[in-house]
């Protein structure tokens, strides 16, 4: 089976959507490899099945691409909104950051 990666790091901090998209890419790559491996199989049923699988894979690739673009666009918009908020409200951002840091510090200290 093909176990290529596409550049998304599998770290514990990676978003679940990114992990899902990476897993979906691997499944599609494995299915494509399976199609290539069974290309020599004769029979009308095998040819029809390969054709349906290829169509399904193409639809899945198109949807994955659109979903990936939407996720990237939303992440960029969130980053821009955060940047704008911090520039417009620097003292609020510092206060919020300090509170979050204090809470995280207390939670860590309890361990």
- Going from N- to C-terminal start, the domains of the chain cover 16-110
Q: Which residues contact 17 (CB under 8 A, 6 or more apart)?
A: 71
Using the predicted structure, report yes or no on whether residue 21 has a pLDDT greater than 90. no
Q: What is the pLDDT of residue 6?
A: 43
Specify the pTM. Answer: 0.47
As to burial, measured by CB atoms within 10 angstroms (0-12 exposed, 13-18 middle, 19+ buried), residue 93 is middle
Cβ contacts of 42 within 8 Å, gap of 6 or more? none
DSSP state of 43: S
pLDDT over threshold 90, residue 18: no
With bands split at pLDDT 50, 70 and 90, how would you rate the model's confidence at 15?
low
User: Which range among 25-29, 40-44, 66-70 shows the weakest confidence by mean pLDDT?
Assistant: 40-44
Residue 16 has pLDDT above 90, yes or no: no
């Amino acid at each position: 089976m093909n176990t290529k990666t596409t550049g998304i790091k599998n770290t514990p901090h990676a978003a679940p959507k990114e992990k899902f998209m990476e897993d979906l890419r691997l499944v599609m790559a494995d299915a494509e490899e399976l199609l290539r491996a069974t290309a020599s199989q004769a029979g009308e049923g095998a040819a029809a099945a390969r054709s349906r699988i290829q169509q399904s894979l193409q639809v899945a690739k198109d949807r994955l691409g659109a979903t990936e673009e939407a996720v990237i666009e939303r992440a960029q918009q969130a980053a821009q909104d955060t940047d704008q908020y911090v520039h417009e409200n620097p003292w609020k951002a510092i206060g919020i950051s300090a509170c979050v840091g204090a809470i995280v510090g207390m939670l860590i200290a309890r361990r």
